[in-house]
């Protein structure tokens, strides 16, 4: 993005350092604790992209509230999260969990979701972002009071995001799709899931699971995903996206 838009100043915020970044004159890299709030000035960004952060913070609602604060009036907010389920390819809107096609993976996902929920992460938040952030939503007042945010800041936040639009992108898992390009993407997604399960063995043990059982769960998911990709067994994941604008005028 910094290369494509050299006339823009960009701030990249991570919660942990993941990889080395290539320095550019128009981008600043920051790593800090989101629980302390966004360390940015009010009304300071024309565009905010918040992606793949839900699983990393317990106070996701507080983060969304803060995103509104640092977005300039007229600015664009985009939010995107992966729904942590695997679904059967049956009938739209594809709400059947893929226990038939991928029983081991779905069993493993259930274990991980329970573990994440027990740590205080709200996995249901992705279904409510649009309603929460609309203008005049009760969520602004409720969240502001929950985190002891000053009343005048709550009043400004209640202008919300408008219009808050959304789209759920269906992502094939595995190479089953007849379109070669989409099939290739599906295989890449399957490999990403397999890599994720390799990395989850340790966290499962840390959450109280026996080491041998954690290894068994992890390996069974990896093997099932690999076989599903090879045998073109159908399943999909869902990628949720929301976007909208902060109203031009803040209340006095």
How confident is the model at residue 14, as a pLDDT? 82
Indicate whether 130 belongs to any domain.
yes
Query: Based on the structure, what is the number of domains in the chain?
Result: 1
Is the pLDDT at 86 greater than 80? The verdict is yes
Domain region containing 209: 32-245
Residue 143 near residue 62, CB atoms below 8 Å: yes
Indicate whether 2 belongs to any domain.
no
Indicate whether 141 belongs to any domain.
yes
Q: How far is the C-alpha of 56 from the C-alpha of 15, rounded, in Å? A: 8
Indicate whether 16 belongs to any domain.
no
Indicate whether 3 belongs to any domain.
no
How confident is the model at residue 250, as a pLDDT? 55
User: What is the arrangement of strands in the sheet containing 236-245, beginning at the earlier edge strand?
Assistant: 45-51, 71-87, 236-245, 162-172
Pick the range with the lowest mean pLDDT from 34-43, 54-63, 159-168, 208-217: 34-43
Tokens of 180: 């070669």
Q: What is the dihedral of CA 14, 135, 237, 103, to 10 degrees?
A: 100
Q: What is the mean pLDDT of residues 30-52?
A: 88
What average pLDDT is seen over the chain? 93
Is the pLDDT at 252 greater than 70? The verdict is no
Residues contacting residue 134 through CB under 8 Å, at least 6 positions apart: 160, 161, 162, 164
Indicate whether 24 belongs to any domain.
no
Tokens of 251: 């209340």
Indicate whether 232 belongs to any domain.
yes
Strands 71-87 and 45-51: parallel
Pick the range with the lowest mean pLDDT from 144-148, 204-208, 243-247: 204-208
- 32-50 as b/e, with b when 16 or more CB fall inside 10 Å? eebeebbebeebebeebeb
Residue 109 near residue 85, CB atoms below 8 Å: yes
Residue 50 near residue 78, CB atoms below 8 Å: yes
How confident is the model at residue 21, as a pLDDT? 76
Indicate whether 22 belongs to any domain.
no
Tokens of 235: 């399943």
| Percent of the chain's residues with pLDDT above 70 | 98
Q: What is the mean pLDDT of residues 102-121?
A: 95
Question: What is the CATH classification number for the domain harbouring 72?
Answer: 3.40.50
């Amino acid at each position: 993005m910094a290369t494509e838009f050299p006339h823009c100043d960009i701030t990249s915020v991570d919660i942990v350092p993941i990889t080395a970044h290539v320095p550019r004159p128009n981008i600043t890299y920051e790593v800090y604790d989101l629980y302390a709030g966004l360390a940015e000035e009010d009304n300071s960004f024309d565009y905010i992209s918040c992606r793949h952060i839900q699983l990393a913070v317990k106070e996701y609602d507080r983060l969304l509230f803060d995103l509104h604060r640092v977005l300039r009036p007229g600015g664009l907010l985009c939010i995107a999260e992966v729904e942590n389920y695997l679904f059967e390819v049956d009938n739209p809107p594809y709400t059947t969990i893929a226990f038939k096609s991928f029983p081991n993976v779905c069993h493993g996902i259930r274990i991980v979701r329970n573990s994440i929920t027990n740590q205080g992460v709200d996995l249901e938040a992705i279904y409510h972002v649009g309603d929460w952030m609309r203008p005049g939503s009760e969520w602004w007042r409720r969240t502001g009071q929950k985190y002891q945010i000053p009343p005048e800041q709550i009043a400004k936040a209640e202008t919300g995001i408008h219009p808050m639009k959304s789209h759920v992108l269906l992502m094939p898992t595995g190479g089953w799709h007849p379109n070669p390009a989409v099939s290739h993407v599906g295989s890449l997604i399957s490999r990403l899931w397999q890599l994720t399960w390799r990395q989850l063995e340790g966290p499962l043990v840390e959450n109280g699971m026996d080491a041998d059982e954690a290894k068994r769960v992890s390996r069974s998911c990896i093997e099932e995903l690999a076989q599903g990709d090879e045998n073109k067994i159908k399943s999909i994941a869902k990628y949720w996206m929301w976007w909208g604008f902060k109203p031009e005028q803040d209340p006095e």
